[in-house]
Amino acid sequence: MGTRNYRATVEYDGTAYHGFQIQVSHPTIQGELERALERVTREFVRVNGAGRTDAGVHARGQVINFHSSWSHDCRDLQRAMNANLPEAIAVREMAVASEGFHARFSATSRLYIYRIYCSPVRSPLLDRFTHRLFQPAQVEAMEEAAGKLLGWHDLAAFGQPPFGENTVRLVHRATWRQVAAYSGCFDKTPTELLQFEIEANAFLRGMVRRVVGTLVLVGIGALTVMEFNEILLSQDISRAGPPAPACGLCLERVRYD
């Protein structure tokens, strides 16, 4: 039997990992996935990811693909992989894909979500997946500034291209909303989170965290909406705000035609 192209959806807590992409001297999500596949299939398997999340960034809907000569049902492969993966990583879905499918190159857009809670006192149960602001933020101002990102833009002010020199991207969605979250199973009073959703055809390295860091400056009054737009148009990364911490960022979903 020849090899088949498998597609899988992976969820992970990226706190202890140095990003998705494999590294020689640091633990990564790709490294753990390939290690588990080698144990299960007894062959070296290269995994392709839809998004190369940075160190400490999480994912609910990362998509991967890989080729393997695994001869059993793909549900058995999913169960075997999960039995060999660390607790922080899980394969949520798996199926045989068309031969031409590629997790990164076939994707039409990616949706990232960044979550913030505003409190003078930290919440240990929220801090692993949410960034804390010490002061309130004006959501309306951040929403207005985020709207400047929509459409085709040169986003060099917020990140570096992973390949080549092209920094132009198409942003489909960039919006803030308030959501309720419980910080623990015994918490009867929900915490109000500020949730930023940004969807684009592709992203620059570090782009979402710099965008959020700069929008937060708008929210606390350190920048105006006009000044945010000037930073966007400047294409000068030195003018952007500091990147928001990785803990609040999650790759939520990847879209395909």
Q: What is the pLDDT along the chain (257 residues), one digit of tens a residue?
A: 589 999 999 999 999 999 999 998 999 999 999 999 999 999 999 999 999 999 999 999 999 999 999 989 999 999 999 999 999 999 999 999 999 999 999 999 999 999 999 999 988 889 999 999 999 999 999 999 999 999 999 999 999 998 889 999 999 999 999 888 766 666 667 778 999 999 999 999 999 999 999 999 999 999 999 999 999 999 999 999 999 999 999 999 999 98
Angstrom distances, CA of residue 163 to CA of 166, 167, 205, 234, 247: 8, 10, 10, 21, 25
DSSP states along the chain: ---EEEEEEEEE--TTSS-SS--SSS--HHHHHHHHHHHHHSS----EES--PPTT-EEEEEEEEEEE---S-HHHHHHHHHHHS-TTEEEEEEEEPPTT--TTTTEEEEEEEEEEEE-SS--HHHHTTSEEESS---HHHHHHHHGGG-EEEE-GGG-B-SSSS--EEEEEEEEEEEEEE-SSTT--SPEEEEEEEEEES---BTHHHHHHHHHHHHHTTSS-HHHHHHHHHHT-GGGSPPPPPGGGEEEEEEEE-
CATH level 2 (architecture), domain 109-256: 2-Layer Sandwich (3.30)
- pLDDT attached to residue 186: 61
Q: 109-256: same fold as 4-96?
A: yes
Catalytic residue set: 54
- pLDDT attached to residue 1: 58
- pLDDT attached to residue 190: 74
Question: What's the chain's Rg over C-alpha atoms?
Answer: 19
CATH level 2 (architecture), domain 4-96: 2-Layer Sandwich (3.30)
Q: What does the alpha-carbon distance between residue 208 and residue 214 come to, in Å, rounded to a whole number?
A: 10
Domain layout of the chain by residue ranges? 4-96, 109-256
Q: Is residue 146 a contact partner of residue 118, using CB atoms and an 8 Å limit? A: no
